[in-house]
Amino acid sequence: MTSNEKSPLSHLDAIKLLDLLISDEDFRSQFEQDPATALLKVSAEAAEAGKLCKVPGRLASAEKLSSTKLLIASELTERGLFYQPYMFAAEPKSPQN
């Protein structure tokens, strides 16, 4: 794997990440500012997968993440963390933004 390929998360890590993003405001704040450090609360593997990633803009609401949890978990386990850079963003950005 090259340095810019995204590593898929395990199913357990994906669910733990989403559960934290939905229920833990402190984790949400840290994830928004520094995903790799926040991901240490999930696992060392998740932190490694997110070390070069950042959340583009504001994090989506807990309600929105909750309503799309299974879809996001599927993306995280099949394609990788931040494969789609706006998967955690409140407002998807257009290419012009």
State pLDDT tens for residues 37-72: 999 999 999 999 888 788 888 888 999 999 989 988
72, amino acid identity = I
Would you give the DSSP letter of residue 89?
B
What pLDDT score was predicted for residue 95?
A: 46
**Phi/psi zone of residue 82: left (φ > 0), alpha (ψ -120 to 50 degrees), beta?**
left
What pLDDT score was predicted for residue 1?
A: 43
What pLDDT score was predicted for residue 3?
A: 46
User: Residue 2 contacts by C-beta under 8 Å, 6 or more apart in sequence?
Assistant: none
As given in the structure block, the two tokens for residue 37 are 């450090």
What pLDDT score was predicted for residue 83?
A: 60
User: Residue 48 contacts by C-beta under 8 Å, 6 or more apart in sequence?
Assistant: 7, 36
Separation CA 80–CA 53 (nearest Å): 11
Binning pLDDT at 50, 70 and 90, where does residue 2 land? very low
What pLDDT score was predicted for residue 97?
A: 43
If one compares 44 and 5, the residue with the highest pLDDT of the two is: 44
User: Residue 52 contacts by C-beta under 8 Å, 6 or more apart in sequence?
Assistant: 3, 4, 36
pLDDT digits 0-9 by tens, 10-30: 999 999 999 999 999 999 999
Residue 5 pLDDT more than 70?
no
